[in-house]
Amino acid sequence: MASALPTFTKIGKVIRLNRHGCTNRPFYHIVVQKTKDNQDGPVIEQVGSFDAMPNSKNEKLVALNFERIQYWLAQGAGLSDPVAQLLGLSGFLPNHPRTLIQAWKNRREPPRERKIKAIKGIAPPLDNPKL
Amino acid sequence: MADDVTKKQKKLAGNTLFTHFIMFGSSGSRVLNVINISYLQSRSKRVWVRKPLGSPMAKSKIFRITPKPALPEDEKAEIKRLFDNYKNSMKSIRQYFFEQSLKQAESGEVAQTKHRLEDQEHEQLVEENRLENEKTAMLREEKLKIQAEKTQQNVLASLIKKEGEAKLHEIQIEAFLTKQMCTPFIQAENIEKAIEDALANPVNFNFALDLDGYIYRGKDTSIDTIPEEKRERLSRN
């Protein structure tokens, strides 16, 4: 058993999504921040972006700076689930269990009828029954 | 979902716990302690903080029973298996990244230049140290020379002094011995004559002295019986 693994001590920094964009049009920055800071608070470094709205070719564009992500992971930064999922889908990390779980749930029962088309993929489905 | 709504509790009969409380915290500052202030102005919507602890349960929620999502056992097992594998691989990946970063830090250009500069500095310092040592060695040698001379002189002086003292001592001893020899010791030949002389001239040690310097011999001598003119004056022999 390796002794005193320094990567596992928490350094208080995390790689997560910061919501930018406008109302009903989210655009996320993938960002390294201190865990205590608010989502729209000070940012240490931006390390990518994620557009949750599919474009004209039905693509959701994700940008990732793998070198810097590797650096921060080596320093001991945490990962939030959505970012981990994105990295898994990109191939940098192994696939997150959540992707598989969501996939088999979607296959099992089709989502209920909604007035606004549900965004399939990483963004969670709408919960408001009024929509 | 309600945006920008401040709840106002109306006055209940006798209950006026909360007239007005805002449950949405303002972003850009912490609720509990204002440490972290965002210098970029943010006009995003306020973030839900939490319902105050003393506030009562809402009427619409009193008899609510939330449906618990019950997953089948095999699904749970599958989920656990997936997460365990993922966590294992993530741990090893993090460790690998860390080791890579260490290697890179050692072998990278920055590290190499640093090592080179450090070695140069070390050489310079060693050279400086050597020169300094030499200087101090020279000074030390001079000092030691002077000291050696001094000690030599001191030793010589003390030796001479001791010699002189020894001679003096000898002379003194000789004088003392001669003096002793002069005193009339009673040898084997003189013993009979000495005994006869001693018997013939007994020495009387009983006497008294006056502060004026007169001596009164004899044990039973009374001072009143002797007139002033016939007093014996003590003479130094």
Tens of pLDDT, residue by residue over A102-116, are 888 888 877 667 666
In this structure, CATH architecture of domain A8-80: 2-Layer Sandwich (3.30)
Among B21-35, B59-73, B182-196, which stretch is predicted with the lowest mean pLDDT?
B21-35
Q: Token pair for residue A123?
A: 């963004």
Does residue B157 have a pLDDT over 90?
A: yes
Does residue B172 have a pLDDT over 70?
A: yes
Closest CB to A74: pick one of B79, B85, B98.
Answer: B98
pTM of full prediction above 0.90: no
Contact (CB<8Å) A94/B100: no
Closest residue by Cα to residue B94 from A10, A111, A73: A73
pLDDT given for residue B19 in this prediction? 40
Contact A23, A89 (CB under 8 A): no
Give how far B117 is from chain A: nearest CA, Å.
Answer: 26
pLDDT (average), residues B109-116: 90
Task: Examine the predicted complex and report whether its ipTM is higher than 0.85.
Answer: no
DSSP SS3 for A65: coil
Does residue B17 have a pLDDT over 50?
A: no
Instruction: Return the residue matching tokens 């689930």.
Output: A81
**H or E, element range at B166:** helix B109-182
Listed as ranges, residues in chain A with pLDDT below 50 are 1
pLDDT (average), residues B87-106: 93
Domain segments of chain A as ranges: 8-80, 96-131
DSSP SS3 for A31: strand
pLDDT given for residue B33 in this prediction? 60
Residue of A nearest to B42 (CA): A40
pLDDT (average), residues B206-215: 83
CB atoms near residue A89 (< 10 Å)? 16
Q: Token pair for residue B56?
A: 């009562």
Which residues of B lie inside 8 Å of A (Cβ-Cβ)? Answer: 1, 27-28, 30, 35-36, 38-40, 42, 44, 47, 79, 82-83, 85-86, 89-91, 93-95, 97-98, 100-101
CB atoms near residue A121 (< 10 Å)? 14
More confident residue, A98 or B26: A98
Contact (CB<8Å) A42/B42: no
Contact A128, A118 (CB under 8 A): no
Chain A positions touching B42 (Cβ under 8 A) are 40
pLDDT given for residue A97 in this prediction? 97
Q: How far apart are CA B189 and CA B195, in angstroms?
A: 11
Q: How far apart are CA B215 and CA B205, in angstroms?
A: 12
Q: What is the pLDDT of residues B67-86, one digit of tens each?
A: 998 999 999 999 999 999 99
Closest CB to A101: pick one of B1, B30, B79.
Answer: B79
Q: How far apart are CA B216 and CA B233, in angstroms?
A: 9
Contact (CB<8Å) B100/A101: no
Q: How far apart are CA B189 and CA B206, in angstroms?
A: 32
More confident residue, B222 or B33: B222
Among B41-45, B134-138, B164-168, which stretch is predicted with the lowest mean pLDDT?
B41-45
pLDDT (average), residues B10-31: 47
Contact (CB<8Å) B82/A101: yes
pLDDT given for residue B4 in this prediction? 43
pLDDT given for residue A15 in this prediction? 96
Closest residue by Cα to residue A88 from A58, A122, A111: A122
Closest CB to B36: pick one of A37, A75, A101.
Answer: A37
Contact A30, A64 (CB under 8 A): yes
